[in-house]
Chains A and B, each alone.
Chain A
């Protein structure tokens, strides 16, 4: 029996196997707000205002935002471009040829980005939450920005007006007998329109929205799962007693 359990543990990934996400930067834990309608609505607003000009969410329809408590009227008036219909998917208006020229690559679609960025270091939300808060000024990059999580990223800090400009404080530390540089903290060079706490909370909302958008049915799935398991638990008891009733004849 131990063998079997060990087998399951190994096979099903409790061994902590690394599915490398390509970054070894330690990730901060993103707040879990996929059930918080106000946070999701704020996140959707931030997403439309700050992400959607360059990135599409080509599998996500605007009217699906009803699921996070918005009415069709609110969606049409506040979130869609004037040319969009409510049943359209979220398409960026950027020209792909120009985008490639400006950033070196086409901005990736963001519909399921949160799902794709999960890995050994943390969930996809953790990755996005840390990534979006780790930009710093770098004059050697064509956009003038660099990122600690995604080194030499093509995207400039999309939230710089809100966050302001920051610089990482490096410190020396010893790791496995070798001296390495680690990031100890941040120093604000130019403040943004939000305080650090405000900014973190807003990024938390934005990331919660992106997590939700990756799988809009995710909370419905969990709620339904509870009922399914309750039914199966009751059914298992019935099946167990039925089995015993038949098998009492077998001597």
Chain B
């Protein structure tokens, strides 16, 4: 326990009140210092570094608007759709709360995707920040679950059939997820429970872990330079500045710009052309009428594309990839004979499984694997430098293609299936996985530039 401090008599009242609290709750004062006033962040953050704060802001928006929505929403298959319309019409300002929540869901994914891409650009997942990255990937995964379950609640046609399609994918356990033989009232009730309490609790816990781990190791920066390597005589990094007030005031500016975009959507285009609120979802769920075209909401579509890409033909391509990988492993890798035998054995088992199990199953594996593979990023990247600024041009090209590929996959996932789309999504899926699985090889290639010992910063 900290020393009990007595102020000299006649001290100002504010000092005495502060002292009274500090003696009784020193943890809060320590936390303020550790995370705000004495958390030294690199001074060379660029605009990519706003999306972490924005994700936190959107999380708060979702929780607060969610609390108000739950006051009026009815998780009952017969009442859910009507209760959402009741919120939109009869609850004072209900439409605003609901649009903020629906726009917030999409905004969450926009900022999280940009936040993750920032990590990719500057190598923020590299040692010693592996756990920060892993907690972040877990947040992304949990967020997908949260969004998926929330999307069922308005009980429109798209809610219902989207849930039906995705739940059916988990062919072994759909009964466990649905709680019934079809998506129904039982499903709605448990999804509501998960959406409003279970998953948000996990999400908040992970966000705390993500931030604590970050503040333990310190933030990375666009140069990928460790600022803790150069400290002054007080042990403060020379290139670091206190988070508060410098980055709080920075974030207020960023938040303000973000809120302009957010409000423009909420007030002028809450459906955003059918992407944030799908038109079909204004028709109440009808288990007897299957919509012509069922598409998940835009933020799931790159992964949905990969699911659809795995057809019977594609499984043969995957087998060929496994065989090729094994041959290369045996011929090129500098590993012992036993390990080589293990590689051959694993490849034989993999080909056998690919051959034996239905392509639909491998589609689900691809969709899940596309998220899970992100967790391994810290151990796939063997580049001697962190930041893209000092990596060879090859990497810049690869990242550009990766982004375009991801967007194309997303676009194809919205579209109804077509033969050309299927081929393109298959190539895209191979590229997506190739990007990560071949990273140990390509991340070492090319000429690296010299990383400076201090960050590059021009005062503004």
Contact = CB atoms under 8 A, between A and B. Distances in A.
Interface of A: 3, 6-7, 10-15, 17-22, 58-61, 64, 108-109, 111-113, 115-119, 124, 214-217, 221-222, 224-226, 228-229, 232-233, 235-236, 239-240, 242-244, 246-248, 250-251
B298 A11 contact: yes
Given A224-B267, A228-B263, A236-B260, A243 B95 contact: no
A60 B380 CA distance: 57
A116 B197 CA distance: 30
Given A112-B85, A221-B267, A247-B460, A61 B90 contact: yes
Contact of B252 (A18, A113, A239): A239
7 contacts: A10-B411, A11-B275, A116-B281, A116-B283, A119-B279, A221-B267, A225-B264
Contacts of B253: 236, 239-240, 242-243
B82 A59 contact: yes
A160 B304 CA distance: 46
Given A19-B414, A20-B416, A236-B260, 13 more contacts: A6-B404, A11-B275, A20-B293, A108-B283, A109-B284, A112-B282, A116-B282, A118-B274, A217-B95, A236-B253, A240-B253, A247-B250, A250-B459
A119 B274 contact: yes
Nearest to A235: B256
A233 B274 CA distance: 27
Interface stretch (B13-21, B69-77, B222-230, B241-249): B241-249
Interface-centre pick from B89, B260, B404 (highest chain A CB count, 10 A): B89
A239 B256 contact: yes
Interface of B: 43, 82, 85-86, 88-90, 95-96, 99, 110, 241, 245-246, 249-250, 252-253, 255-257, 259-260, 263-264, 266-268, 270-275, 278-284, 292-293, 295, 298, 400, 403-404, 407, 410-411, 414-416, 457, 459-460
A41 to B, nearest CB: 19
B407 A111 contact: no
Given A12-B275, A64-B89, A232 B256 contact: yes
A3 B281 CA distance: 31
Contacts of A11: 110, 275, 298, 407, 410
B280 A19 contact: yes
Contact of B414 (A17, A243, A247): A17
A246 B86 contact: no
A222 B267 contact: yes
Contact of B85 (A14, A21, A111): A111
Contact of B400 (A3, A21, A248): A3
A115 B411 contact: no
Contact of B82 (A12, A58, A61, A244): A58
Query: 3 closest Cβ contacts across the A-B interface?
Result: A225-B267, A116-B282, A59-B85
**B-side interface mostly:** helix
Contacts of B257: 236
A3 B278 contact: no
B88 A217 contact: yes
Contacts of A222: 267-268
Contact of A21 (B263, B270, B279): B279
Nearest to A15: B411
B275 A246 contact: no
Contacts of A246: 245-246, 249
Given A225-B263, A250-B43, A116 B246 contact: no
Interface-centre pick from B249, B255, B284, B416 (highest chain A CB count, 10 A):
B249
Contacts of A240: 253
Nearest to A111: B85
Greatest chain B CB density within 10 A among A58, A228, A244 is at: A228
Contacts of A250: 43, 241, 246, 457, 459
Contacts of B279: 19, 21, 115-119, 124
Given A12-B272, A232-B259, A244 B460 contact: yes
Contacts of A59: 82, 85-86, 89
Given A6-B407, A217-B95, A233 B275 contact: no
A127 B371 CA distance: 40
Contacts of A18: 415-416
A58 B267 CA distance: 25
A225 B256 contact: no
Contacts of A221: 95-96, 99, 267, 270
Contacts of B88: 215, 217
A14 B407 CA distance: 13
A105 to B, nearest CB: 10
Contacts of B252: 239, 242-243
B58 to A, nearest CB: 16
Nearest to A217: B95
Given A13-B273, A246-B246, A247-B246, A19 B278 contact: yes
Contacts of B284: 109
A235 B99 CA distance: 22
Nearest to B279: A118
Contacts of A215: 88, 95
Contact of A232 (B263, B407, B416): B263
Contacts of A3: 400, 403-404
